[in-house]
Structure 1
């Protein structure tokens, strides 16, 4: 078992809640592994600011740093925009590559399953990067997405957000295939929520104040 990835997924998809205590012994028993891989995984996650380790006090799931999530969203926006625009200029079809992800995203919207939607959202964008021949770039940026994913899990619980996001993905596909760079740029500029939209942040913080680092 990949203990590191298991714990990272548990944190970014809220099986382990922000601020929760992590007990190595309990995890070792639950996962049927020794404490060594648990400890090694927690150190890696601490280096990624997903876990706080306090000697003699305990280990805790880190609360969400909104500024860090926003920085990751901005990095993703820059790379995603460049790659999508490159495909758009060449009018490359992406329908076959994204068909499966779109299907499961649609099902997740119907059943209102934010976590399943986000996982397939990531699969959609990975397919775009692969279509452009940049799957390694996607792997690099996806490794740092956990902070942003946690914000998305909360954001997509709000009414209408899943539907809005799905519509944006369908429009991204259409713009790429139509070669409509101007419309694609407008969509991507709002799609990643990378701007300093204080209203967006306030809405999420007000609903889930206990999950965030205090500013």
Structure 2
């Protein structure tokens, strides 16, 4: 006789099947930490689907069938230009200002920024190790403007794909150009007697996050 069921306990959920001979159990453990609940703040963004395209109106001259002379067809193109805001430009309405005001009232902020094509979760005074930046020197202050997410313990703002630069100020200072530990790569071929050991050191740039602030909108 078989019995099937789903049991829920303090350590997770278990799906079990029992019989007189076999007992099969599969357990799914909970994650090591509960996700922090945050309120997603509404931000008004210009709709890209409303972008209108200019139309070309063509007018062709009438040709008489009895005319023996050659008549040149005249085409007139009329272009209509409409000024439309960029899809990434924010609409600073009452809802947006209230949402940013709630976020600004928090004590600490975090951000998910793209640096050299890779996302990093940062807060103020963090040290970030990135691939070598060739065009900067030690002591230079960089302004990070590709922010995917900006938030605090209670609120967050998500970009599509990036948050507008008017909402925040995030700066980083270049403090060091360094190299990683020695990396050894072993290459060999079976039954060929070929074996080579290659060494390599990856170059890095270390950044100190000096400022993470939410701007006050007038």
- TM-score if structure 1 supplies the norm length? 0.20
Q: Relative to total residues, which structure has the larger strand share, 1 or 2? A: 2
Report the structure, 1 or 2, having the larger helix content.
1
Which of the pair has more CA radius of gyration?
A: 2
TM-score norm. by structure 2 comes to 0.20
